[in-house]
């Protein structure tokens, strides 16, 4: 659409320039010159808008962000993926793996609830460790589904970077998540 408008403005500029070469009165000449200046300004503005739109499209092209609630992927207090979670990630990985050109990072997050004694007995003593194990579980599963190992990594952030308040059950549920993002 911007290219079409730019073409029409360019045509109008040419017509205006051709009109200026014939015999015209001073007032008509001034009117045409004013119109020409307005069209040049519009053309310049549209050219800048087009450049900005192309820059934005280039930044977004290939960007990936896939967020999954951890409750769909893992049982409470676990980093082993549930069958439903495996299906969800398998569908995503199979679609992504053949055309993956950018490295991915699997980011794991938790809510702010303390680690229970069962997890502590398994060596998971913090939310950061739990989120790292969950991110690694998703990463390893994606590798098993065809994502190249050198194209993916995992990071656990624990309760950092919440997307909702940890004061409510609904907010804590939103904070327990796995994000798969383009790296860089």
How many structural domains compose the chain? 2
C-alpha 70/C-alpha 56 separation (Å) is: 31
- Domain of residue 32, residue span: 2-60
Cβ(70)–Cβ(177) below 8 Å? yes
For position 102, which CATH number holds?
3.30.1330.60
Q: Are residues 126 and 151 in the same domain?
A: yes
Q: Are residues 90 and 16 in the same domain?
A: no
Q: Are residues 27 and 103 in the same domain?
A: no
Q: Are residues 153 and 132 in the same domain?
A: yes
Least confident of 5-19, 74-88, 150-164: 5-19
Q: Are residues 48 and 75 in the same domain?
A: no
Q: Say yes or no to pLDDT of 9 above 70.
A: no
Q: Are residues 12 and 47 in the same domain?
A: yes
Mean model confidence pLDDT for the chain = 82
Q: Average pLDDT of 108-113? A: 94
Q: Are residues 22 and 76 in the same domain?
A: no
Q: Are residues 84 and 26 in the same domain?
A: no
Q: Are residues 53 and 69 in the same domain?
A: no
Residue-level pLDDT at 21: 54
Q: Are residues 74 and 154 in the same domain?
A: yes
What pLDDT digit, counting tens, does each position of 118-133 carry? 999 999 999 999 999 9
C-alpha 103/C-alpha 50 separation (Å) is: 29
Residue-level pLDDT at 27: 83
Q: Say yes or no to pLDDT of 60 above 60.
A: no
- Select the more confidently predicted residue: 57 or 80: 80
112, with CB counted inside 10 A (0-12, 13-18, 19+), is middle
Residue-level pLDDT at 145: 94
- Cβ partners under 8 Å of residue 5, min gap 6: 46
Least confident of 15-19, 22-26, 28-32, 113-117: 15-19
Give me the count of residues in the chain: 184
Residue ending a domain, among 11, 27, 60, is: 60
Threshold 0.75, pTM exceeds: no
* No. of helices (H) and no. of strands (E), the chain: 7, 4
Q: Average pLDDT of 75-100? A: 90
Residue ending a domain, among 12, 38, 60, is: 60
Least confident of 43-47, 61-65, 102-106, 177-181: 43-47
Q: Are residues 100 and 165 in the same domain?
A: yes
Q: Are residues 52 and 70 in the same domain?
A: no
SS3 annotation, 14-62: HHHHHHHHCCCCHHHHHHHHHHHHHHHHHHHHHHHHHHHHHHHHHHHCC
C-alpha 107/C-alpha 87 separation (Å) is: 19
Residue-level pLDDT at 26: 80
């Amino acid at each position: 659409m911007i290219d079409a408008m730019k073409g029409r403005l360019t045509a109008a500029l040419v017509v205006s320039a051709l009109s200026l070469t014939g015999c015209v009165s001073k007032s008509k000449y001034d009117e045409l010159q004013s119109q020409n200046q307005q069209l040049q300004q519009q053309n310049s503005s549209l050219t800048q808008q087009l450049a900005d739109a192309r820059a934005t499209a280039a930044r977004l092209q290939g960007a990936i962000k896939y967020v999954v609630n951890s409750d769909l992927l893992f049982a409470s207090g676990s980093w082993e993926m549930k069958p439903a979670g495996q299906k969800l990630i398998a569908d995503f990985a199979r679609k992504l793996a053949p055309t993956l050109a950018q490295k991915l990072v699997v980011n794991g997050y938790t809510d702010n609830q303390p680690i229970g004694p069962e997890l502590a007995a398994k060596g998971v003593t913090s939310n950061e460790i739990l989120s790292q194990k969950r991110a690694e579980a998703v990463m390893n599963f994606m590798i098993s589904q065809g994502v190249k190992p050198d194209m993916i990594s995992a990071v656990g952030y624990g309760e950092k970077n919440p997307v909702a308040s940890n004061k409510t059950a609904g907010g804590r549920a939103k904070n327990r998540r796995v994000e798969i993002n383009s790296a860089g």
